[in-house]
Amino acid sequence: MRKLVAALGAALALGGAVASASAEEIVIATVNNGDMIIMQKLSKEFEDKTGIKLRWVVLEENTLRERLATDIATKAGQYDVISVNSYQTQLWAKMGWLTKLDDFSADYDYDDFITATRESLSVDGTMYGAPFYGESLITFYRKDLFEKAGLTMPEKPTFDDIAIFAEKLTDRDNGINGICLRGKPGWGENSPLISTFVAAFGGAWFDMEWKPLLTSEPWNQALNWYLDVMKTAGPTGATTNGYNENRVLFSSGKCGMWIDATVTAGYLLDPKESQVSETTGFAPFPITDKNPEAAGWSGAWALAVPVSVTDNAAAAKKFIEWATSKEYARLVGEREGWLLAPSGTRKSTYASPEYQDVAKPFADKVLAAISAVQPTKPSVMETPYTGAGFIDIAEFQALGTTIGQTIAAAVSGSKTADQVLEESQAYVERTMERAGYYKK
């Protein structure tokens, strides 16, 4: 067990004995998202309350995913608490790599979590990841730029609408990109975004025989739509832009629209965080006539404990219970502002008068976006898998990473859409064959 040993006293009279005590230390590996940075900032409250010391490893998203995958698969046990998403939680729990989180105190109130968020982190009804925030996708847009261009955001925008708006909002002379979308390659960056676009165009990753469908018409339409708007209205150097980079671009006034995680809504209305706090509007994820009920992904960032953690497991679970509690949500609201309270997790947050007072422009839209997703029906087609934006198979991480890199090559102009789809189709089929999905 890792210990921090501190001397408590000097030599005592007569015996010259030295009294000492030790404080337990846990290591927390987390992504460098804004909500996690707030957690780190407020964690002194936990240290003072429990005497448990915290050591932080804060990493960029793709780097964190790679390190955690290696650590948990090898049972290295470098981290006591890890930040995981819904895909990792589901997969790793089924593999027996995560500790059950079903024995917190009555005050924790498991039933207070939004059902879709809790279920995305559970296997057979047992929670293995505690929700830190839940999310889907939403369309952020600049109301002032829309007004200036004589545009009106529909109640349910289509992909055609978004493309037209993006072109009209683009103002290169003034540094305004009509739209900002994830271009950074990664199974947690551009790949899930493209997956939701494909579903909106009526497509899927696989048919019921696990044959890949990446050269199908929906994939062709979705990828070409994405590449066209990125070329016409997206920022330069888009292949380096993931969630965090686009958030900076939008909040600094450089994007007319941005389709990304609902969790960002509070930040964009916070004048301390956003230069466009007074002009940001919120609209649903776009739809097509192929899928008029299209929605974004369903997922959450959560905190979990690897089963390889033994000596520090109790302390790790104690921290998770605190960091995902009603008490913590209120602490964020009171210290950092209610706009930054954890989004998409607890019903009590949305019922709070303090939260409703400041979050009224987006609270209902965020809940609607999360509720609209059906992870068990990820496409209008019948599929052999579940998961919105992700696929609940071990191979998805490799598939998403490689295909994300190929798509990024098309964004940079070194590959065509047809090349991307043909290469991706062959890679996925080869991967699934080697993994034993096809009967000989």
Report pLDDT digits (tens) over 73-106. Answer: 898 889 999 999 999 998 999 999 999 999 999 9
Count of C-beta atoms within a 10 Å radius of residue 372: 18
Q: What confidence score (pLDDT) does residue 433 get?
A: 97
| 173: Cα separation from own chain's centroid | 33
Q: What's the DSSP call for residue 107?
A: G
Question: Which amino acid type is present at position 43?
Answer: S
C-alpha span between 227 and 257 (Å, rounded) = 16
Looking at residue 440, its pLDDT comes to 64
Identify the pLDDT of residue 4. 34
Sequence-ordered list of residues with C-beta below 8 angstroms from that of 402, at least 6 positions apart, any chain: 424, 427
CA distance 109 to 131: 13
Q: Which residues pair with 299 in a beta bridge?
A: 135
In the chain, the N- to C-terminal Cα span, in Å, equals 50
Question: Do residues 256 and 177 lie in contact, with contact meaning Cβ atoms separated by under 8 Å?
Answer: yes
What is the pLDDT at residue 52?
A: 97
Count of residues making up the chain: 440
| Cα–Cα distance, 92 to 102 (Å, whole number) | 16
Predicted local confidence at residue 11, as pLDDT: 31
User: Inter-axis angle of helices 396-412 and 217-233, to 10 degrees?
Assistant: 50
- Quote the pLDDT of residue 61: 82
Helix, strand, or coil here: 26? strand
Residue 354 C-alpha from the chain's centroid: 25
Q: What is the mean pLDDT of each run of 10 residues along the chain (440 residues)?
A: 34 31 81 90 96 95 88 91 93 95 97 88 93 94 98 98 98 97 95 97 98 98 98 97 96 98 93 96 98 92 94 96 98 94 93 93 92 88 91 92 98 98 98 91
Cβ atoms of 303 and 317 within 8 Å: the answer is no
What would you report as the CA-atom Rg of the chain, rounded to the nearest whole angstrom? 23
φ, ψ (nearest 5 deg) of residue 250: -70, -45
The pLDDT value given to residue 23: 65
Measure the CA–CA gap between 134 and 349, rounded to whole angstroms: 13
- Which residues 6+ apart lie within 8 Å of 308 measured at CB? 72, 75, 76, 77, 97
CB 371 within 8 A of CB 138: no
**pLDDT confidence of residue 115:** 84
Long-range contacts of 42-51, Cβ-Cβ distance < 8 Å, separation of 24 or more: 42/328, 42/331, 42/332, 42/335, 42/336, 43/319, 43/323, 45/331, 46/319, 46/322, 46/323, 49/322, 50/315, 50/318, 50/322, 51/23, 51/24
- Distances in whole angstroms, Cα of residue 59 to Cα of each of 36, 38, 69, 398: 11, 15, 14, 20
Sign (positive or negative) of CA dihedral 301, 302, 307, 310: positive
Tally helices (H) and strands (E) across the chain: 18, 11
DSSP annotation of 117: H
Quote the pLDDT of residue 9: 35
What does the pLDDT read at residue 54?
A: 97
Query: b vs e for 167-184, b when ≥16 Cβ sit within 10 Å of the residue's Cβ?
Result: ebbbeeeeebbbbbbbbb
